[in-house]
Amino acid sequence: MPKATLRDVAERSGFSITTVSHVLNDVPGKRIPEATRERVRAAAAELAYTPNRLAQGLRLRRTNTLGFISDHIATSPHAGQTILGAQDAAADYDCLLLLMNSGSDAELENREIQALRDRQVDGIIYAAEYHRVLTPPAALAGVPAVLLDARPADAGFSSIVPDEVGGAATAVKELIDHGHRRIGFVTNITDIPATALRLAGFKKALKTAHRHFSRALVVEDISEAHGGFRAARVLLDRQPADRPTALFCFNDRMAMGAYQAAAECGLRIPEDVSIVGFDNQELIAASLRPGLTTVALPHYQMGQWAVHALMRTVEGSANGSLRSEVMPCPIVRRGSVGPPPRS
């Protein structure tokens, strides 16, 4: 005789599978008459029903834990707020967050995803340290999952990334609104989505303001302070008539280098040159003197969004409706932008 199932107990007792499940699993807080409970238990005993613990975990009972797997977020200084946002949102669902860090090691990542699945997490957030286009690992197949700060190369996953174009346009508009006409772009030389998208935003803001885009005002280098210093020197060493009166920098680290370049050129910020960054990396942006006006990567909000999207899938209310969200990057004003110097 095949093993009795919950469905068999339901049929024998005459109650719904849900009721039978609630009784046999002693789910608290359910108002089920004692007579019903007795009939269900009697039917279960007659059929020698024993619960399938695995199925129980899968079907009836969530573990109220979400997996959060990332390449480097937990170990890098850049995107920790993502975890905080996800954690706070998870608390809304009474869920805990189990974090794993793969260090971009594909084999380790697979073992970690398997470990999360073994522990029956209700779903998994797959998060990148910075905006990437990627092919999610096969190990994610069949478990509710959402991509964070990453877009899938193919469809198949909901995902959220920052609005790089809009953020860059916001930064440049801030400079245009202060009256700047010659705006330099100190940007990243690496071929990642943010590089192309922030350049697109730079051009977009100029176009909106009916300004010409000049390739001569764009200088690329590595996206660190040293690269920012070198690129900014290229722009600020020019004769005053050709020198930009403002710099938009690819990130706050390059902006830190631009501050150093301005100081070596004897230019004050913002009196002689205005500077805007990108990322709102507090450790730098709030520590520079004057404070750096920049555009915030919405790490916290992306973490929140990812959990809400994941829970919609877990709760079955979003089957088949994948979403690709782009999260706005708001400006954070400090003290590095002023009107252009009078020439």
Q: Closest CB to a copy of itself among 174 and 252?
A: 252
Of residues 169, 148, 173, the one with CA closest to residue 158: 148
86 to 115, contacts with a copy of itself by CB under 8 A? 87, 91, 96-101, 103, 108, 111-112, 115
Q: Closest CB to a copy of itself among 173 and 253?
A: 253
Q: How far apart are the first and last CA of the chain?
A: 94
223 to 242, contacts with a copy of itself by CB under 8 A? 224-226, 229
Q: Closest CB to a copy of itself among 123 and 340?
A: 123
Span from 31-39, 49-57, 74-82, 238-246 in contact with a copy of itself (CB under 8 A): 74-82
Q: Closest CB to a copy of itself among 115 and 265?
A: 115
**Three-state DSSP class for residue 331:** strand
Smallest gap from Cβ 269 to a copy of itself, in A, equals 12
**CA 205/CA 342 separation, integer angstroms:** 23
Amino acid at the residue 83: I
Sign, Cα dihedral of 178, 274, 194, 220: positive
**Three-state DSSP class for residue 145:** strand
Q: Closest CB to a copy of itself among 50 and 75?
A: 75
**Three-state DSSP class for residue 166:** helix
**CA 257/CA 44 separation, integer angstroms:** 72
Smallest gap from Cβ 51 to a copy of itself, in A, equals 18
**CA 53/CA 297 separation, integer angstroms:** 43
276 to 335, contacts with a copy of itself by CB under 8 A? 281-284, 286-289
Span from 159-167, 189-197, 203-211, 221-229 in contact with a copy of itself (CB under 8 A): 221-229
133 contacts 297 by C-beta, under 8 angstroms: no
How many residues of this chain interact with a copy of itself, rule: CB under 8 A? 42
126 to 185, contacts with a copy of itself by CB under 8 A? none
- Residue 77 tokens, joined: 């200084």
Question: Which of 10, 40, 43, 74 forms a contact with a copy of itself (CB under 8 A)?
Answer: 74
Smallest gap from Cβ 112 to a copy of itself, in A, equals 6
Smallest gap from Cβ 86 to a copy of itself, in A, equals 10
Q: DSSP per residue over 89-120, as a string?
A: HHHHTT-EEEEEE-TT-HHHHHHHHHHHHHTT
Span from 189-197, 215-223, 251-259, 320-328 in contact with a copy of itself (CB under 8 A): 251-259
Question: Which of 23, 24, 44, 81 forms a contact with a copy of itself (CB under 8 A)?
Answer: 81
Q: Closest CB to a copy of itself among 101 and 304?
A: 101
**CA 116/CA 79 separation, integer angstroms:** 22
* β partners of residue 148: 127, 160
Question: Which of 3, 7, 119, 181 forms a contact with a copy of itself (CB under 8 A)?
Answer: 119
Nearby residues of 37 by Cβ (< 8 Å), 6 or more positions away: 23
Q: Does 196 bind a copy of itself (CB under 8 A)?
A: no
252 contacts 284 by C-beta, under 8 angstroms: yes
- Give the phi and the psi of residue 197 in degrees, each rounded to 5: -70, -35
User: What is the binding site for a copy of itself (CB under 8 A)?
Assistant: 65, 73-78, 80-81, 83-84, 87, 91, 96-101, 103, 108, 111-112, 115, 119, 224-226, 229, 253, 256-257, 260, 263, 281-284, 286-289
